[in-house]
């Protein structure tokens, strides 16, 4: 059976041109994007957090699934890369883009306020993990990507990824499922 794919957010082509101009190659893939859209659509009126805006590819997928009452807070450390996202997405009133340190943002947010956290950078994934998980409301979803080996990984990164997966799948606050697709995903739900 052949699987068909639905349309991409219209803004992706423009974002891709911005990424190419910067030499930025760390955007999420279409499979992860479609999953983000699906998860966002499952949270009507939800509050979403994206750790690692990048140039806005994942952000655009999240926005394409969100209803008018949902909000998305997204943070990116690299101002040049974040500028691509801002150029193409900042007009959406559901989106708040922050240029800054994700760890500082995580520390500043009150616990339990988010229905979905997409951790696509080091803060909230490889450090500040417990604090990021505390941001989830009961039933809230946590998604991480980039868990399958990549040629660009530093020598010790595979051990860090293995430790992260073990930590998340063993956390008694979560139901967690590694997904062997795209760049390697893990989806978890905060238990009530």
Tokens encoding 83:
């500028």
Mean pLDDT confidence for 129-135: 97
Rg (CA), the chain: 16
Phi, psi of 132 (to 5 degrees): -65, -40
Tokens encoding 185:
């995903």
Q: pTM of this prediction?
A: 0.92
Comparing CA positions, the residue from 123, 82, 125, 126 lying closest to residue 106 is 123
From CA 133, how far away is CA 49, in angstroms rounded?
11
From CA 61, how far away is CA 28, in angstroms rounded?
10
From CA 176, how far away is CA 185, in angstroms rounded?
11
Tokens encoding 34:
């479609």
Complete domains list, the chain, with CATH: 28-190 (3.40.50.150)
Looking at residue 4, what is its pLDDT? 47
> What DSSP character marks residue 29?
P
Percent of the chain with pLDDT over 70: 96
Mean pLDDT value across the chain: 92
Looking at residue 19, what is its pLDDT? 73
Summarize pLDDT for 30-84 with one digit per residue, the tens. 899 999 999 999 999 999 999 999 889 999 999 999 999 999 999 999 999 999 9
Looking at the predicted structure, is the pLDDT value of residue 86 above 50?
Answer: yes
Phi, psi of 162 (to 5 degrees): -60, -40
Looking at residue 126, what is its pLDDT? 95
Looking at the predicted structure, is the pLDDT value of residue 123 above 80?
Answer: yes
From CA 153, how far away is CA 155, in angstroms rounded?
6
Comparing CA positions, the residue from 125, 13, 121 lying closest to residue 76 is 121
């Amino acid at each position: 059976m052949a699987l068909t794919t639905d349309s991409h957010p219209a803004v992706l082509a423009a974002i891709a041109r911005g990424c190419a101009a910067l030499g930025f190659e760390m955007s999420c893939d279409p499979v992860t994007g479609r999953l983000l859209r699906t998860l966002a659509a499952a949270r009507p009126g939800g509050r979403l957090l994206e750790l690692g805006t990048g140039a806005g590819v994942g952000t655009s997928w999240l926005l394409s699934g969100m209803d008018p009452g949902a909000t998305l807070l997204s943070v990116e450390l690299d101002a040049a890369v974040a500028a691509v996202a801002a150029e193409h997405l900042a007009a959406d009133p559901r989106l708040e883009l922050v240029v800054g340190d994700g760890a500082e943002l995580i520390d500043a947010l009150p616990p339990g306020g988010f229905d979905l956290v997409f951790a696509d950078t080091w803060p909230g994934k490889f450090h500040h993990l417990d604090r990021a998980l505390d941001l989830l409301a009961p039933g809230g979803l946590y998604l991480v990507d980039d868990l399958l080996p990549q040629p660009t990984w530093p020598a010790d990164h595979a051990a860090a990824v293995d430790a992260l997966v073990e930590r998340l799948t063993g956390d008694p606050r979560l139901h967690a499922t590694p997904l062997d697709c795209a760049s390697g995903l893990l989806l978890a739900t905060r238990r009530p």
